[in-house]
Structure 1
Amino acid sequence: MTGKDIPGLEEARSAIPAGTKINVTFLGNEDLEMRVAAAKAVKDMGFVPVPHISARRLASEAQLAEYLDRLQQVGASEHVFAVGGDPAEPEGPYPDALSLIQSGLFEKYGTNDVSIAGYPEGHPDIPEDVLWRHLEDKYRALQERGLDAVILTQFAFDTDPVTAWVDEVRRRGISSEIRIGTPGPAGIKRLISFARRFGVGANALIVKKYGFSLTNLMGTAGPDRFVTDLAAALAENPASGDVKLHFYTFGGLLATSEWARDYLTGRA
């Protein structure tokens, strides 16, 4: 959710199981008060807030400390997502998520686990070898500081690169929980637009496998096929370890929450 989504969270709360992790984004057009209010709302409604910390949007160490302090005051600093962020040039002393981890401020303000980014289908601006090195460096840095790591991935359409990437994560000795990014139900045009923006594969073969066609972009698509196929693939490979889902709510909190509830009911 964003800082503006508190009404949407209120609308969806009855469809979301208590204790669900809900990420709160760090957008450039939102301020400290909006981010803290959103994290507090998540906590007050019985869920687990995971505020994003965007390294390149932070102007100073004092700004990071203030944000973590405010989060701690509302009981929302235990779980955070450290990410580099969008700006091409850092606005302050933190060029990437690793520098946030190495600041020592997470431990100071009561953080227990830090989510870090994973890219099963690569990143449009970062070479694959650099992505792997960064992932390993962040994982080791968190281990050295006694913090748990959670790998939160960009959303994907195709199970094959996801399962291959999970296998490689484990081969490299990284045993932390992985949460595979999954787009909730949303308009097909919007899904493809987001996919292209973030470098996620959206060619004809993949979207056909996902359940729709590039020649017919009307309507809404849900992740039924992707989730079902991923669950089956992971069940066949116990070495995958602890793998869960993280939903990107492009179509809204309520639509995604209702989809997840109905999917589980159907599977039961």
Structure 2
Amino acid sequence: MTGKDVPGLIEAKDSIPQGTRINVTFLGNEDLEMRVAASKAVLDHGFIPVPHISARRLSSQDQLEEFLGRLQEVGASEQVFAVGGDPAEPEGPYPDSLSVIQTGLLQKYGVKNVSIAGYPEGHPDIDKDLLARHLEDKSAALKEQGLDAVILTQFAFDTDPVMAWIDSVRSKGIETTIRIGTPGPAGIKRLISFARRFGVGANAMIVKKYGFSLTNLMGTAGPDRFVGDLSSLLAADPASGDVKLHFYTFGGLLATADWAREYTAAQS
């Protein structure tokens, strides 16, 4: 959710299982008060806030410490998602999430678990080898600092690159829980727009495999086929380790929560 999504959270709260992790974004058009208020709202409604720390949006160490301090004050600092962020040029001393982790400040403000980013299909602006090296470096840094970790990936439409990437991560000895980014149900045009923005494969063959067609952009689509196929592939590959899902709620918190509840009921 974004800092503006508190009304959507309240609308969806009865459809989301208590204790669910809900990420809170760190966008350029949001301010400190919005981010902290949203994280507090998540906590107040019985969920686990995972506020984002966008390294390249931080103008100074003081800003980082102010944010962490405010989160700690409202009881929302135990879990964070350290991510590089969108700006082409860093706005302060932190060019990437690794540099934030290496400050050693996270533990000072009560952080216990840090999510870090994974990119099964790469990143449009970052070299693939550099991404892999940084994932190893961040995993090692968190382990050295005694912090628990989760690898949270960009969303995907295709299970093939996801499974290949999981195998690659595990081959490096990284046993961290992986949460595969999964688009919640949303309009097809909206899904394609996000895919193009973030460099996610969305050609005709891939989206047909996911369960919709590029010739019919007016409809909506859910991740039923993707989740079912991924589940089968993971079950057949014990070496994949602990893998869960992370939903990107492009169609809204309530729509995603309702889909998850209905899908789970159908499977059982």
> What band does the TM-score fall into relative to the shorter chain?
over 0.9
Deviation at 1:238, TM superposition (A): 1.1
Once the two structures are superposed, what CA deviation does each residue of 1:120-161 show, in whole Å capped at 9, x if it has no partner?
Answer: 011111111111001001111111111111100000000111
Q: What secondary structure sits across from 1:117 in the alignment?
A: strand
* TM-score between the two structures when normalised by the length of structure 1: 0.99
Which AA in structure 1 matches 2:224?
A: D
Separation in 2, partners of 1:212, 1:16: 26
The percent identity for this pair of structures is 78
Aligned partner of 1:136 in structure 2 is 136
Shift of 1:54: 0.3
> How far did residue 188 of structure 1 move?
0.2
| SS of aligned partner of 1:115 | strand
Structure 2 residue identity aligned to 1:105: L
Map of 2:51 onto structure 1? 51
Partner of 2:250: 250
Runs of 4+ more than 6 Å apart: none
Once residues 239 and 126 of structure 2 are traced to their aligned partners in structure 1, the CA distance between those partners, rounded to angstroms, is: 28
2:16 corresponds to 1:16:
yes
Q: Which runs of 5+ in 2 are unaligned?
A: none
Matched letter for residue 188 of structure 1: I
Question: Counterpart of 1:238?
Answer: 238
User: How well do the aligned residues superpose, as a CA RMSD in angstroms?
Assistant: 0.6
SS in 1 for 2:125: coil
Corresponding residue of 1:191: 191
1:267 corresponds in structure 2 to: 267
What is residue 72 of structure 1 aligned with on the other side?
A: 72
Could you list the per-position Cα deviations for residues 62-117 of structure 1 after superposition, in whole angstroms to 9, with x for gaps in the alignment?
A: 11001001101111100000001011111111110000001111010010111000
* Matched AA of 1:85: G
Distance (whole Å) between structure 2 residues aligned to residue 259 and residue 83 of structure 1: 27
1:178 maps to which residue? 178
Using the size of structure 2 for normalisation, the TM-score is: 0.99
Q: CA deviation at 1:215?
A: 1.2
**In structure 2, C-alpha distance between the alignment counterparts of 1:32 and 1:127, rounded to whole Å:** 31
Q: Which amino acid aligns with 1:197?
A: R
**Paired position in structure 2 for 1:164:** 164
Rounded Cα–Cα distance in structure 1 between residues aligned with 2:216 and 2:88: 35
Aligned mates of 1:172, 1:127 — CA distance in 2: 18
In the alignment, residue 181 of structure 1 is paired with which amino acid?
Answer: G
- 1:34 maps onto 2:34 in alignment: yes
Deviations 1:181-229 (A, max 9, x none): 0000000011011001111000010000011111111110000000000
Q: Deviations over 1:29-67 (max 9, x none)?
A: 110000000000000000000000000111110110010
1:123 corresponds in structure 2 to: 123
- Which string of whole-angstrom CA distances, capped at 9 and with x for unpartnered residues, describes residues 163-185 of structure 1? 11111110001000100000000
Aligned partner of 2:97 in structure 1 is 97
Please tell me the residue identity of whatever aligns with 1:75: G
